[in-house]
Amino acid sequence: MILVTGAAGKTGQAVIRALAFRGGAIRAMAHKPEQVELLSSLGAQEVVVGDMRSQVFFEKATRGIQSVYHICPNVDPYETVIGAFAIQAARHAGVEHFVYHSVLHPQTENMPHHWKKMHVEELLLESGLGFTILQPAVYMQNVLAYWDRIMGEHVYTVPYPVETRLCMVDLEDVAEAAALVLTQPGHLAAIYELVGCAPISQNEIAQILSEKLGFTVQAEPLSLEKWESQTRRLGIGDYQVETLLKMFQYYEKFGFHGNPHVLTWLLGRKPASFAGFIECTARRQQKIH
């Protein structure tokens, strides 16, 4: 049985779908009771509900488990503590394989959420557990947060310069890679960078959106001040706001560069391109409307 933590988030759902497709027996870790039905419908045989910030909950959740796929909530101030709880509980339960959903370039101290993931990786290396670490790039799916504005106003707004180049990956490819390392032998003690495409600029993203959607989409920068006031109005916490601001500043200064060779090898095929991802998304949206 494989325990998937952070199961009801967008990563968790994709991983559960991919694992269920391969016939994996899944115990999903939900945060709230209302997430149980969804997780069962995606293919989880068992669902446990609780708070990841509790060591006791982790000890219960890992009982009888062979493999753990650990996904920490996005930009969580307690990521290192949660990671330590997960690793400790896995050791107590005699887990054979602990797979950690990390991030591309965890060694960047200037991005606090990456740095916390690096500490969790360090704990895992020293835990004595059989491990695999996956380091995904920026999800292509993040663009969907701006979808209504792209479709309605034909504008793609980002809180960094439109020349900023970022490498991305389709979350569906990440989930397939996760399912592969969990269900096939040969991935112990491996650290894999999951990059779908070479870095592309925000202008290039707008150009691809224009080509695939059939109207001109303009990439527009949003000042950090405006982004901050909009985000604070949504009630997002101080740690998350400050961490994301640091990430945008990092992107502006250095971009985010990675190479798709490892993921290509792991999947045995080319990962999805951004153009391919947008084509699929547009087709799916047409079916819904």
Ligand X SMILES: NC(=O)c1ccc[n+]([C@@H]2O[C@H](COP(=O)([O-])OP(=O)(O)OC[C@H]3O[C@@H](n4cnc5c(N)ncnc54)[C@H](OP(=O)(O)O)[C@@H]3O)[C@@H](O)[C@H]2O)c1
Binding region for ligand X (CB under 6 A): 6, 8-12, 31-32, 51-53, 71-74, 101, 103, 113, 136, 138-139, 142
SS3 state at 265: helix
- Start-to-end C-alpha separation, the chain: 38
**Nearest to ligand X of 11, 273 (CB atom):** 11
In this complex, which beta carbon is closest to ligand X, that of residue 9 or of residue 130? 9
Smallest gap from Cβ 171 to ligand X, in A, equals 8
Whole-angstrom distance, CA of residue 164 vs CA of residue 240: 22
Write out the E strands in the chain: 2-4, 26-30, 46-49, 67-70, 97-101, 131-136, 138-139, 155-158, 165-169, 190-194, 197-201, 218-221
Smallest distance, ligand X to C-beta of residue 184, A: 22
Closest distance between ligand X and the C-beta of residue 47, in Å?
12
Nearer to ligand X, 33 or 152 (CB): 33
Distance between CA atoms of residues 183 and 178, nearest Å = 9
Closer residue to ligand X, CB minimum distance, 52 or 150: 52
Q: Closest CB to ligand X among 51 and 163? A: 51
Q: How far is the CB of 168 from ligand X (least distance, A)?
A: 8
Amino acid at 257: H
Of 178 and 208, which has the nearer Cβ to ligand X?
178
Q: How far is the CB of 56 from ligand X (least distance, A)?
A: 13
CB contact at 8 A, 86 and 129: no
Of 146 and 154, nearer to ligand X (C-beta) is: 146
The Cα 101–Cα 178 span in angstroms is 9
In 3-state terms, what secondary structure has residue 256?
strand
Among candidates 206, 213, 214, 243, which has minimal Cα distance to 228? 243
User: Which secondary structure element, helix H or strand E, spans residue 81, and what is its range?
Assistant: helix 79-93
